[in-house]
């Protein structure tokens, strides 16, 4: 709360300062209603490119465009008051060069009002992260399993086992040194997450990376149980809204077929009655 009584929005420096302190709470949002629901409870709200799979029915995040991210970013912005809003740079929008990344990140920030962008990749993206940070664009990095590289990995497999752990460790250190204010660790073994969290100076945000991280993030739709067929091991279901919605829709369909809906209380008459305004 500010001195004027207004709610103060969380900033990238605020997130960076949370290293080793109270765990960071992070969730995704793609729409205004969901943004309004998560905002009072979260430190970071991510408009992830997972929107392509969650809302658009794509098989991966690779088909997500910058225009899609801008549209969903604008919707989420309307629903936030306090949480830090971060928007993903989609596949193909930043890998070519730091200059390309800056142009698209600047457009993303200008058109959505987000306070930071997220991009995937470790050592190979360090130069780009440094370029963006030097020009006023805060960056959340993402290492470990990076979904935009799913074809390279051969699927959504755990990363950092055995000798591969050193690669992930180098990636995390490289993006931190380049200026990222936080690092998402996805689908890596707990010992590796613990080591990286102890080594780097910025918060780690885990998704399938254990309690060792400085914070946690999940896709809201997974956590709320909106998709019964998709159950990653690292997701805890806090509700089963998909099942509840299915039952509600089935009840509505049955009422319509039995001509039970609309009932008398849902109808308008020639004369005004209490409740007719709505």
124 labeled part of a ligand binding site: no
Query: Catalytic: which of 186, 190, 243, 265?
Result: 186
Whether the CB-CB separation of 233 and 186 falls below 8 Å is answered with no
**Sequence-ordered strand ranges (E) for the chain:** 24-28, 44-47, 84-88, 116-120, 139-144, 182-186, 204-207, 215-218
271 labeled part of a ligand binding site: no
2 labeled part of a ligand binding site: no
229 labeled part of a ligand binding site: no
CB atoms within 10 A of CB 187: 22
CB atoms within 10 A of CB 18: 18
d(CA 134, CA 128): 10
Is 190 a known active-site residue? Answer: no
Closest by CA position to 212, among listed 199, 227, 230 = 199
For residue 204, give both structure tokens.
């780690």
49 labeled part of a ligand binding site: yes
For residue 165, give both structure tokens.
């752990």
What is residue 207's three-state secondary structure?
A: strand
d(CA 176, CA 169): 11
Any idea which residues carry the catalytic annotation? 186
Binding residues for 3-methyl-2-oxobutanoate: 49-50, 88, 118
Binding residues for Mg(2+): 49, 88, 120
């Amino acid at each position: 709360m500010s001195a004027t009584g207004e709610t103060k929005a969380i900033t990238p420096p605020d997130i960076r300062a949370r290293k080793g302190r109270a765990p960071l709470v992070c969730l995704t949002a793609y729409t205004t209603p969901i943004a309004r629901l998560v905002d009072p409870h979260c430190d970071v709200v991510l408009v992830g490119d997972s929107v392509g799979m969650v809302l658009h029915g794509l098989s991966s995040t690779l088909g997500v465009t910058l225009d899609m991210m801008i549209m969903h970013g604008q919707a989420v912005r309307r629903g936030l008051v306090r949480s830090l809003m971060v928007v993903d740079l989609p596949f193909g929008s930043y890998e070519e060069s730091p200059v390309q990344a800056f142009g698209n990140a600047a457009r993303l920030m200008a058109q959505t009002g987000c306070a930071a962008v997220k991009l995937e990749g470790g050592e190979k993206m360090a130069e780009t992260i440094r370029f963006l940070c030097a020009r006023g664009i805060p960056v959340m990095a993402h290492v470990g399993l990076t979904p935009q590289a799913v074809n390279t990995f051969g699927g959504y497999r755990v990363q950092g086992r055995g000798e591969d752990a050193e690669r992930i460790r180098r990636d995390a250190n490289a993006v931190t040194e380049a200026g990222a204010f936080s690092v998402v660790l996805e689908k890596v073994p707990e010992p590796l997450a613990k080591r990286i969290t102890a080594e780097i100076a910025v918060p780690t945000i885990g998704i399938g990376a254990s309690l060792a991280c400085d914070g946690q993030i999940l896709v809201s739709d997974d956590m709320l149980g909106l998709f019964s067929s998709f159950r990653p091991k690292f997701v805890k279901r806090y509700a089963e809204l998909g099942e509840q919605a299915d039952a509600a829709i089935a009840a509505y369909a049955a009422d319509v077929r039995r001509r039970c809906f609309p009932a008398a209380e849902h109808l308008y008459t020639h004369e005004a009655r209490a409740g007719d305004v709505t």
